[in-house]
Structures are given as structure tokens and as C-alpha cells.
Amino acid sequence: MSTPLYITMHPADNVAIVANDGGLPAGTVFPDGLTLVDKVPQAHKVALVDIPEGGAVRRYNATIGYANKPLPRGSWVHERLLTMPEARALEGLPIATVKPEPPPPLEGYTFEGYRNPDGSVGTRNILAITQTVQCVAGVTDFAVQRIKAELLPRYPNVDDVVALEHTYGCGVAIDAPDAIVPIRTLRNISLNPNFGGEVMVVSLGCEKLQPERLLPPGSIPIVDERNVADVGDTAEAKLDVVCLQDDAHVGFMSMVQSIMRQAEEHLERLNARRRETVPASELVVGVQCGGSDAFSGVTANPAVGYCTDLLVRAGATVMFSEVTEVRDGIDQLTSRASTPEVAEAMVREMAWYDAYLDKGRVDRSANTTPGNKKGGLSNIVEKAMGSIVKSGSAPITGVISPGEKLKQKGLIYAATPASDFICGTLQLAAGMNLHVFTTGRGTPYGLAEVPVIKVATRDDLARRWHDLMDVNAGTIATGEKTIAEVGWEMFQLMLDVASGRKKTWAEQWKLHNALVLFNPAPVT
Amino acid sequence: MSTPLYITMHPADNVAIVANDGGLPAGTVFPDGLTLVDKVPQAHKVALVDIPEGGAVRRYNATIGYANKPLPRGSWVHERLLTMPEARALEGLPIATVKPEPPPPLEGYTFEGYRNPDGSVGTRNILAITQTVQCVAGVTDFAVQRIKAELLPRYPNVDDVVALEHTYGCGVAIDAPDAIVPIRTLRNISLNPNFGGEVMVVSLGCEKLQPERLLPPGSIPIVDERNVADVGDTAEAKLDVVCLQDDAHVGFMSMVQSIMRQAEEHLERLNARRRETVPASELVVGVQCGGSDAFSGVTANPAVGYCTDLLVRAGATVMFSEVTEVRDGIDQLTSRASTPEVAEAMVREMAWYDAYLDKGRVDRSANTTPGNKKGGLSNIVEKAMGSIVKSGSAPITGVISPGEKLKQKGLIYAATPASDFICGTLQLAAGMNLHVFTTGRGTPYGLAEVPVIKVATRDDLARRWHDLMDVNAGTIATGEKTIAEVGWEMFQLMLDVASGRKKTWAEQWKLHNALVLFNPAPVT
Ligand SMILES: [Ca+2]
Ligand SMILES: [Ca+2]
Ligand SMILES: [Ca+2]
Ligand SMILES: [Ca+2]
Ligand SMILES: [Ca+2]
């Protein structure tokens, strides 16, 4: 058996987690003399001192709970023994109090990307077919299969053809105040840097979300012939829309052929594009976690946090998200805001989400999963502390609301639900060109629209899921590597993946999860 | 040009709709002397008498609006000229006042179906793969492609393999009061008659919606070896679950192979099944409309209503749905309820939905689409009157809430949103084995799980979409056929489609829309 090992996050903590694969039996003696009085599963907490009944249990230098009964030194501290603290009030928070020295810029790092007319850079060269409504999904899918089989082989520089299927567009309260969220999400996904500005739309005709409502004039930054429908010899700039209910469509195949004909024009232009060397500052990285365990906040997320700092130093953009997973650390975030306005925007997003959950008669504690608890995370407070570390240590310079597009670089708080699919979908809309996903329990998550780099928190998972996990941060727990080493490894891998030199495992297997919209408004 | 024709729904109506393709110009004189003072598009309303400012505009013997200004005889009556009536209060409704004579039973009609262990009957023989969570969708999809390519050819009696993909299962407030709706929907879809009781589940492992929560012991009516996981030589009845996070899975392909191995057992048993002659009373028909125009309530929906009466006389089950589209006719429905309990259940569903919409700061009027209005439907009241006729004239004998499974035969009000995909998904959960969908504007709607018979409201649509529309009810407007004739035609087609003797167009082209869950609870 390997040496018994526990990991403490902060000198002020009174619990640590057991690092060894398979956990440790009662009676185990650690090198410093700490003796387990219970069997403690891997990634679960052990008391470092005697904690009295009602005493604060501290991890990440934060109170993650209060002891329901005396917890002797060496005992297993699990969720049934803790009472969760109340949510931090959103008043009286420290605002922009931390003014970290700007770290030295990181220069000279580049990748090979596709420069877009609007200045953004793609990491892949994909034809995306925007849909106004779920009604057209079957026809579009039929057409996409034919495009892939019959057209794509003739355009070898195009990586893929992706139907942006979603369940919105009709049968929804489209004039409800909150409907702005799904609508702008769909709009902004169409404009993701990986699609090269080649926007084409399949519409039914009678749907609530009409093409002009989805993409009003001016919403596509560069309107030139690339976004112009072929409508005879009129030269008017017009959204490139195939409308299935158009009178010109007689028979199913005429619809399929319309889609294929329009697709071919875009494929031709996409095929002519070439990668060029661009600075690392053109990376727009969305980070999130899913299937978390207690190692998430010890290995993978701190390594992501280190890498986030590298990216910010290189002038790139990093988004962190997941409202319910940062809610309990709001004071850390507001204090790291670069300006009071940024702090206020964060508080606004948290307050909106509190109210949203309250309407459904739940609160932030609805976040945690059976897997989280099995994995050693006692409650949302502990989960949040381990989730926030993905954001590193840089000042937070901007905040966007769900479905909004990024307007600036640096470290950005992109407010989204923690749901892996909804978070990923909203980060796509924000303009992400690379996705980093940490997981402890393991998930085969992938997206068709951007590469997803998956980071395992544990050695054991990385070993078993050797062809699904791209980075093994479990080496941090075993002592093989430092957080900095894994952070740098990730940074280098990002440049390789962004350049197309390496494919992620999700890309290899073509593992594609659904776009899942955040629609806080009613359906009808 | 064909003879100018208008259609009135009830002798007390003061508006009618123009039937002619392309509409009619101002100055057109109808055979009875009515002269158009405006150009009136097809399916739009014309005033039959002078209607004073503030006067009630009546169609289907119901007030669909009040005139905003004087509407002279022969003028075009469109939505901008009408003020919509308030929603009918849910108090003081007529309760079970209509006691129609039970119509003579319709005997001797049969179809060829798959009899299930629980007594239900399938119209198709499909292996459905239930998923607890979106996380597993990519892996399951990969496995299903291989199953179709490598296994299905060896099981020729099995029609298809369908992954029941959905966006629920984690990242959701699973303990919120309203979470019961999506959970029971998923559970009951797994038990749809077309899947032969062969339930197999793909689970991630750490998700909120654990397999035992989705399908608790006893929820699968017949637990025999068909639903038993192979766990060595233990004979314990256990749900057949492939868990991706299982320690036994080393590498991606081991997950794929687990799914394929389990699928093969179910395919073997499904393949051994044979169609047998069963009475028409085993049909469970879900009816809905989508992409409606003013002809929907004149041709297709009345024909469906006629067919509904035939089905009920044959002892079958018919579900009608779409809360916001029957809300304005609630008095008609409560008066047709077979008992006060049924009427009260309908009122309860309407009240729940009123409150649900209100939370999102909208009301029932959020239902109508741009296509409805273009198609001549001025508002939700007019749309509702034309939607309700799908329910025919039989007494309403039962009500189910969203996601519930049917417990009885006859004419049932299955409360669902009007959204085509959500309504279809909930009717699948209720146990539908055949789906009838009427459309005026046209939609290529289809489901992988049950055959969808699509009915066009207009000759023109049926002509243009000749290989997407299964029934042309437009012949009712042209006078070629009566409502009864089209109703009987539908009834016969249902028996043919249910028997597998005919395929619907959606089946021919494999047009499959997504399962879309109704989740009134928050995401996290
Ligand atoms: Ca997370
Ligand atoms: Ca997440
Ligand atoms: Ca089995
Ligand atoms: Ca409808
Ligand atoms: Ca509908």
C-alpha cells in the first residue's frame, strides 16, 4: 500500500481529505501521527483536530458547515454530520478590495487559428446551420447527413457540418420578459468564432422566432456577400434563410436541396480559409466542472486556476461560470472585482438567480448531486469553494449575463447555471473557442461546436478512462506533479488543440452533447 | 377562377372565412350576393353583416373579439381590428350538464399489433434505450449507430433502435415540487407500448436522476427475466442498467460494448414477437395541431373530431391536449365532462397553467404565432375554438396531468402545453401508440417512437407537400369530400398504419423531432 496521505487546502483548515486510492481503513497512522478512528473513503474528509458540537468545520479557509455532534480528531467528517451555513447575504460585501499587482505579461505564445472578418479567431472551421425552431430539425438533419456524405469530401479544409438543433422557437412565451435569454443565446451561438461568420438559417415560416427576430439586421457584424441569400440578381444584403414553408418548395426533396445548395456556397468560402499564426491572446476559454468530487477542488480546479492565470497574463479571455457554485464565495469574487461596477454586476446576477430558484421553491443547495456526496463533497458550500479556484487569482474584469456575447478580454464572470450542458451552451454563445472541463466522477461530455479538453481529478479515473480524459490532474494528489506543472501542461495542450495539431478525445469519438438552452420563461 | 366560397361554422356567426386559394379581391361577389369591400386573404374572415364598434365578432357560436371600429358587411376582419375577450373565469362553470346519448358501439374493426405483457398493444416493435441524463447521450448515440449497423440486420422483426435522449437528469432542481413532471414523463415514456416492455437504461453514475429514482421497483409492470440485469448468477430482479462510471469500464469501447451486449438480449426477445389481430379498442391516439391556420378549425380538426368519435365508439382511447388552446373553451369541456370529478380535474389543470404563465408574467395569449395570424387566426380565442373540435362530441371521461400514464380508455383530456414537441412527448408518456397531427401552415413533424399521421388543412399545402402530408382535409373546403368522409378515411388509415401495412411520410423519411420535456421547475 502507498504511504497514507491527506491533503489540506489552507493552514487554518481543521479538516483535510484522504488522497489514497480506495480510501484508508480505521487505524491508519499518517506520517505526522494523525490516526484514523473511522474508515475514510478516498477524497472524503478527516478531522485534523477535535471539533466540538456546533464547531465550525473549515476547508479552503472557509466555514463549510457546523458539527452536529463532537467530531474527534481522526474521524470521518461527512455530509450527515454537518449543518450547512446560511447563504452569504448580498449586502455589505467587500467591493474591489483586493488589488493584486498585475502579474508580468506572458509573451511569445501563439497558436494557429482561423482569423474571422469580425476580428475573432476560430480554432475549428465548421459550417453551422442555424435553426429558428425545433420543427425543422428532422429535415435539417436529413440534409446534413447528405451534405456530409456528398459535399463535405469536396471541401477538405472544412472540419465539420453541424446543425445547431435546439428545442426553442415556438410553443414558448416569446414575449415574456425572460425570453431574451434563450433568444440572444441562439443568436450569439450562430456567431461563434468557429463558424467563420458564415451564417445560414433554416426556418419553418410560421414560428414565433422569425429569422429577423433571431438575427435582426446589424446583428451579423460583417454583412457582405457571405451572408447574402441568392435571390436572383438583387444585390440587397439579406440573411441567408431557407424557409421550408416557402411556396417554391414542392415536395420534401426540394427542401433538402435548398439547404444543400445554400450550404455549398458557405462550404466553398469556408474551404478557402487557412490557419494563420495568432497570439495566445486570441484564445477564449470557457472553464467549468461537472461530476465533481472532493479532488476537483484539490487537483484539477487549482491546475485550471493556475492555467487561467497564465491565459490572463497572455492577454487571453477566460470565462468562469456556474452561479450556484460560486454563490457561497461571492465575497471572494466581489473583493477580486477590478471595479465596483464589476462587483455590482456579479451581485446582480446572484440576486437574479436567488429569486429564480425561489420561484421554483428551492435554493442553491439544489445544486449538489448524489455523486458529489459519494465523492466527498458535503454540501454546496464545500463544492463552491472547490469550484471557484478555477478562476485563479487575477482581477475579475467583466461580467456577462446568460446568453450575452463577450465584449472584452481578461477574466470574465459569465453567469450561467451549473448544468454542464446549459453552461457549455451559454459559453458557446459568449464566444468561447476552447472549452476546459474538469471532472472527478467522470463524464464523457463533448460538444460539436468547440473542442472540449477534459481534465480528470484523480489518477484512478484518468487510468480507467484513458481514452476519454485529456489531462490527468490526479498526479497532483500523488505528488508526481505540482499544480504549476499541470497548469503549464494544460496551457501547452490548449495551444496544440486550438491549432488543430491535437484532437481531444471527445473529438476523436465524435461525442456530442446537445445544446441546451436556458429558458427561464414559460412554455405555452 | 373557381366560384367564390366562404365557410361559416355556426348559423349564429357574423363572420365567415374565405375558402378560395389565394384569397379574393375587393369587389368579389359571392353567389348569395355578399360583396367584398376589401381584399381578403385565404382563410381570413369576412364580415357577414355590419358589425358596430364594440360589437361582438362571433365564430363557432362564440365571441372571439369585439370590433375596434365599425366593420361593414363584406370587410376583412383581422386581428388588428379586434379586442380579445377576457379569459373565462374558472368559477361558476357548467359542470357535466351535457349528457349525450351514448352513440352506438362501432364493432368489428381490428388492426395487427404487438400485444405486450402488461396488456397494452404496440404499433411498432422498437428497442428504446432509456437514459437517466444528458451526460450519456454521446456515448449512447455512438453505441446506437453500431447497434443499427452491426446488430439490427440480424433481428429483422425489430423496426428500429431509438435512444431516448433528453436534456434532464442533472443540473436541475430535482427536489423542487414541480420536478415530478419531467421525472414521471421520462419514466412513462420508457414504458410506452411500442417498446414491448424491454426496458434498458444507460446511466452515468453520479447524476441526480439515479436509475432507481427514474424507475423505482414496481414501476415496470412485468418484472421477469426481460428486465433483469446480468449480474453473474444472482437471480434477483434488477433494472437492466449500464452505468458508465462502473469500475468495470476501462476505456471508451468497454462502455460501448456494455450497451451493445445488453441491447442484444432485448433485441433477441423483441425479434421473437409477432403481430396479432387485436380490436381497434387497443388504439391509443394522441391528437394535436401545430402551425394552425383558420382552416384548421374548419377542415382538419373537425375531421379529426369525427374520427375521434369513431374511435371512442370503437372502444379506443383518444387524448386531446394543449392547455392554452382549450382554455377559452373550458365551459364547453366542463359541460361535456362525464362526471363532476372530471370537470374539476380539468379546471384544476387550467388553474395550474394560469398560475404557471402568470409567474412568467404572460398569459394564454402568448400562445399565438405570427403564422397563426398570417393564416387568419386573430387571437387565442378563435384558435381555441378551432382546436377544441378535435375532441369530437363524446363525453370526456378522464383527465391526466402532464407526464402521467393513462389509466382508462375513452376520450381523455391529457393536460399538456401546446408546444408540438412537448405535447407529443407527454402523449408518448401517457401511452400513445399512434399520433395524429393537423397543420395548416405546414410542418415536417415526426417522432422516432410512434407513427405520426399528418393532416393538411388546405388543398394547396397537401399538393405542395405531397410527400409529407398523409391526409388532405382540404378537400372539405373545396366541397370534394365531407367531414365524415375524411374522418372515415383517417380511421381506416390509422388501422393500416397501426398494423404496419402503411408507413407515414415521417417514417419514410425518418423525420424525428426531439423529445422535449416539460420542466416547470428551475435548473441549477
Ligand atoms: Ca460545476
Ligand atoms: Ca457544470
Ligand atoms: Ca440483461
Ligand atoms: Ca395546437
Ligand atoms: Ca401543438
DSSP conformational letter for A311:
H
B516 touches chain A (CB under 8 A): yes
**Could you say which residues from 467 to 496 on chain A have a Cβ atom under 8 Å away from some Cβ of chain B?**
467-468
Per-residue pLDDT tens digits for B62-108: 999 999 999 999 999 999 999 999 999 999 999 999 987 888 999 99
Q: Which of B134, B173, B418 has the CB atom closest to A171's CB atom?
A: B418
Q: What is the pLDDT of residue B2?
A: 82
- Report the separation in Å between the CA atom of A116 and the middle of ligand 5, taken as the mean of its atom positions: 40
Query: Chain B partners of A361 at a C-beta cutoff of 8 Å?
Result: 176-177
**Does the structure show a pLDDT above 70 at A226?**
no
Retrieve residue B24's grid coordinates.
Answer: 379574393
Task: With beta carbons less than 8 A apart as the criterion, state whether B272 and B127 touch.
Answer: no
| Closest approach of A295 to chain B, Cα-based (Å) | 15
- Average pLDDT, whole number, for chain A? 95
- Nearest beta carbon to residue A522 from set B138, B360, B509: B360
Over residues A402-417, the pLDDT tens digits come to 999 999 999 999 999 9
In the three-class reduction of DSSP (H, G, I as helix; E, B as strand; rest coil), residue B277 is classed as strand
Contacts of B92 (CB under 8 A, 6+ apart): none
Q: Under CATH, what is the fold of the domain A1-86?
A: 2.30.130
Overall average pLDDT of the B458-466 stretch: 96
CA distance B381 to chain A (A): 14
- The residue type found at A294 is A
Partner-chain contact A506 B138, CB within 8 Å: yes
Nearest chain A residue (CA) to B326 = A524
Among A240-254, A363-377, B349-363, B411-425, the least confident range: A363-377
Please provide residue B471's backbone torsions phi and psi, each rounded to the nearest 5 degrees: -135, 140
Whether the predicted pLDDT of A429 surpasses 50: yes
- Does B167 contact A139 at a Cβ distance shorter than 8 Å? no
pLDDT at res. B301: 97
B245–A441: do the CB atoms touch at under 8 Å? yes
Q: Cβ(B335)–Cβ(B94) under 8 Å?
A: yes
Check B173 against A362: CB less than 8 A apart.
Answer: yes
Q: At residue A224, does pLDDT exceed 60?
A: no
Contact A334, A389 (CB under 8 A): no
Q: Cβ of B205 and A173 within 8 Å?
A: no
Q: How far is the CA of B287 from the centre of ligand 5 (A)?
A: 9
Task: Please indicate if any CB of chain A lies within 8 Å of the CB of B352.
Answer: no
**What sign does the CA torsion over A62, A66, A71, A75 have?**
negative
Q: A85 to chain B, minimum CA–CA distance in Å?
A: 19
The count of C-alpha atoms lying within 13 angstroms of the C-alpha of B147, restricted to the half-sphere facing its C-beta, is 30
A52, A1 contact by CB (below 8 A): no
CA distance A73 to A51: 7
Residue B76's H or E segment, with its range, is strand B76-77
Q: Indicate whether A10 pLDDT > 90.
A: yes
Cβ-nearest to B206 among A174, A370, A444: A370
Are A250 and B512 within 8 A, CB to CB?
A: no
Question: What residues 111-150 of chain A have any CB closer than 8 A to a CB of chain B?
Answer: 134-139, 141-142
For residue B147, count CB atoms less than 10 angstroms from its CB and return exposed for 0-12, middle for 13-18, buried for 19 or more. buried
Three-state secondary structure call for residue A435: strand
Q: What is the ipTM of this complex?
A: 0.94
C-alpha cell belonging to residue A377: 463533497
Closest approach of chain A CAs to the CA of B204, in angstroms? 7
Sheet harboring B76-77: ordered strands across? B6-7, B15-18, B45-47, B76-77
Report d(CA A382, CA A329) in Å as an integer: 10
Give the closest-approach CA distance of A200 to chain B in angstroms. 20
**Segment A437-462 mean pLDDT:** 97
pLDDT of residue A101: 81
Bridge partners (DSSP) of residue B285 are B318, B434
Going by C-alpha positions, the residue among A393, A377, A312, A454 that lies closest to residue A59 is: A377
Phi, psi of B360 (to 5 degrees): -90, 10
**Picking from A137-141, A219-223, A480-484, A507-511, which range would have the lowest pLDDT averaged per residue?**
A219-223
Distance from CA of B110 to the nearest CA of A (A): 32
Report how far ligand 4's centroid is from the alpha carbon of B161 (Å).
Answer: 29
Using alpha carbons, select from A426, A422, A420 the residue that is nearest to residue A444.
A420
* Cross-chain CB nearest to A361 (options B177, B357, B375): B177
Closest to B372 in 3D by CA, of B36, B61, B44, B84: B44
- Which of A131, A165, A206 should we substitute to test contact with B (largest number of B Cβ atoms within 10 Å)? A206
Q: What is the average pLDDT score of chain B?
A: 95
Is B466 an 8 Å CB contact of chain A?
A: yes
**Per-residue pLDDT reduced to its tens digit, A72-116:** 999 999 999 999 999 999 999 999 999 878 889 999 999 999 999
Interface of B with A in 299-328 (CB under 8 A): 324
Chain B: closest CA distance from residue A129 (Å): 16
**pLDDT exceeds 90 at position A227:** no
Contact check, Cβ <8 Å, A170/B420: yes
Cβ–Cβ below 8 Å for A139 and B511: yes
Measuring CA to CA, which residue among A131, A129, A130, A132 is closest to residue A207?
A132
The bound ligand whose nearest atom lies closest to the alpha carbon of B440 is: 4
pLDDT band for position B233 (50/70/90)? very low
Residues sharing a CB contact under 8 Å with residue B38, sequence separation 6 or more, in sequence order: B26, B74, B75, B76
Q: Which residues of A touch B366 (CB under 8 A)?
A: 173-176, 522, 524
Task: Kindly identify which residue of chain B lies nearest to residue A355, measuring between CA atoms.
Answer: B522
Residue of A nearest to B447 (CA): A138
Residue-range domain boundaries for chain B:
1-86, 113-271, 284-508
Measured in whole angstroms, how far is the alpha carbon of residue B152 from the centre of its chain?
29
- The whole-angstrom separation of Cα B160 and Cα B158 is 6
CB contact under 8 A, A523 and B362: no
Indicate if the pLDDT at residue A50 is higher than 80. Answer: yes
Q: For residue B187, what are the β-bridge partners? A: none
Q: Which of B151, B167, B131 minimizes the C-alpha distance to B242?
A: B131
Separation of CA B47 from chain center: 33
DSSP assignment of B320-381 equals: E--HHHHGGGHHHHHHHBSSHHHHHHHHHHHHHHHHHHHHTT--GGGG--HHHHHTT--SHH
Name the residue with cell 464545500: A382
Distance A487 CA to ligand 4 centre (A): 54
Cβ neighbours of A317 (radius 10 Å): 25
Question: Taking 60 as the threshold, does the pLDDT of residue A462 lie above it?
Answer: yes
Phi, psi of B176 (to 5 degrees): -65, 150
Cα of B290 to ligand 4 centre, how many Å? 5
Q: How far apart are CA B158 and CA B161, in angstroms?
A: 8
A178-218 pLDDT tens trace: 999 999 999 999 999 999 999 999 999 999 999 999 999 88
**A38: CB partners within 8 A, 6+ apart:** A26, A74, A75, A76
Tell me, in angstroms, the distance from the centre of ligand 1 to residue A302's CA.
13
Q: Under a CB-based contact definition with an 8 Å cutoff, are residues B461 and B467 in contact?
A: no
Segment among A62-71, A109-118, B218-227, B475-484 with least mean pLDDT? B218-227
Which pLDDT does position A503 carry in this prediction?
A: 98
Q: Which helix (H) or strand (E) holds B399?
A: strand B398-400
Q: Which residues of A touch B173 (CB under 8 A)?
A: 357, 360, 362, 366
* Nearest CB partner across the interface for A206, out of B369, B446, B511: B369
Distance, C-alpha B129 to centroid of its chain: 22
- The Cα of A481 is separated from the nearest Cα of chain B by a number of Å equal to 24
**Pairing of the two strands B276-279 and B110-115:** antiparallel
Tell me how far apart the alpha carbons of residues B396 and B413 are, in angstroms, rounded to a whole number.
Answer: 7
Task: Identify which of B245, B367, B524 has the shortest CB distance to residue A419.
Answer: B524
| CB neighbour list of residue B521: distance below 8 Å, 6 or more residues apart | A360, A362, B172, B173, B176, B177, B178, B179, B181, B182
The answer to whether the Cβ–Cβ distance between B464 and A177 falls below 8 Å is no
Instruction: Output the CA B141–ligand 4 centroid distance in Å.
Output: 31
Question: Does the pLDDT value for residue A221 go beyond 80?
Answer: no
pLDDT at residue B236 in the model:
53
Burial B416-429 (b: 16+ CB within 10 A, else e): bbbbbbbbbbbbbb
Residue of A nearest to B321 (CA): A524
Q: What is the mean pLDDT of residues B161-181?
A: 97
Chain B contact set for A295 (CB, 8 A): none
Q: A492 C-alpha to center of ligand 4: Å?
A: 53
Judge whether B246 is closer than 8 Å to chain A, CB to CB. no
C-alpha cell belonging to residue B438: 393537423
Contact A207 B371 (CB under 8 A): yes
B470-488 pLDDT, tens per residue? 999 999 998 999 999 999 9
B510 — contact with chain A (CB < 8 Å)? yes
H or E element in which residue B410 lies: strand B410-414
- Tally A–B CB contacts below 8 A: 260
Length of chain A: 524
